[in-house]
Amino acid sequence: MTAAWIAVLATAAGCYALKLAGLTVPQRLLDRPLPRRFAELVPVALLAGLTAVQAFASGHALHADPARLAGMGAAVVALLARAPFLVVIVAAAGTAAALRALGLG
Give the model confidence (pLDDT) of 32-48 as tens digits. 999 889 888 998 999 88
Which phi and psi angles does 57 have, rounded to 5°? Answer: -110, 145
Between CA 97 and CA 103 the distance in angstroms is: 10
**91 falls in which pLDDT band (50, 70, 90)?**
very high
Q: What is the pTM of this model?
A: 0.60
**92 falls in which pLDDT band (50, 70, 90)?**
very high
Interval 61-83 mean pLDDT? 91
| 72 contacts: CB under 8 Å, gap ≥ 6 | 51, 55, 92
**11 falls in which pLDDT band (50, 70, 90)?**
very high
Q: Average per-residue pLDDT in the chain?
A: 90
CA atoms within 13 A on the CB side of 19: 6
